[in-house]
Amino acid sequence: MSDTPSIAALMFIAHRAAETRVFETLRAAGYDDLTMAQCRIAQRLQPDGIRLTDLAEQASVTKQTTGALVDELERAGYVVRKPDPADARARLVTLSARGRRLCAAAASELAKVEAEWREHLGTEAFTALTGALVALREITDPYR
């Protein structure tokens, strides 16, 4: 057995470090009414909106859990629900203006994290890592 964790564990460690840093930065910026679970749901929102059932599937949680988290995000003013133009019975979850500001703040901090990683690894290794992860996404991400 190797002392080096598996590649999956290493990816998880890096992801968790970035996620925690972004979450802490958001809290410090005044978005202190969010939970990590809400943030994980919000990460999967799409510009044109997404149905709750699709959001639940992508987040790998129950529709009930997703519904409760979206209810909380809606009460806090981060998302709105609007009719789905493709199906009058369905509703889409979309970001509100406050939600878009939240996502912009998260994206800004994530860019800082990635810049630090690029500096640490060097441009060539960072570019290779990015390319490898994009290629791996082809077989790991059914929602790409």
Kindly list the averaged pLDDT for each block of 10 residues, start to end, along the chain of length 144: 89 96 96 94 91 93 96 97 90 95 96 98 98 96 84
Q: Which residue has the tokens 């509100």?
A: 96
Write out the H or E segment, with its range, that includes residue 82.
strand 79-84
Q: How confident is the model at residue 1, as a pLDDT?
A: 65
What is the CB neighbour count within 10 angstroms for residue 93?
25
| Of the candidates 96, 81, 92, the residue with the CA atom closest to the CA atom of residue 31 | 96
End-to-end CA, the chain? 34
The dihedral built from the CA positions of residue 19, 24, 28 and 31, taken in this order, carries a sign that is: positive
Class of domain 7-140: mainly alpha
- The Cα 76–Cα 79 span in angstroms is 8
Q: How confident is the model at residue 2, as a pLDDT?
A: 75
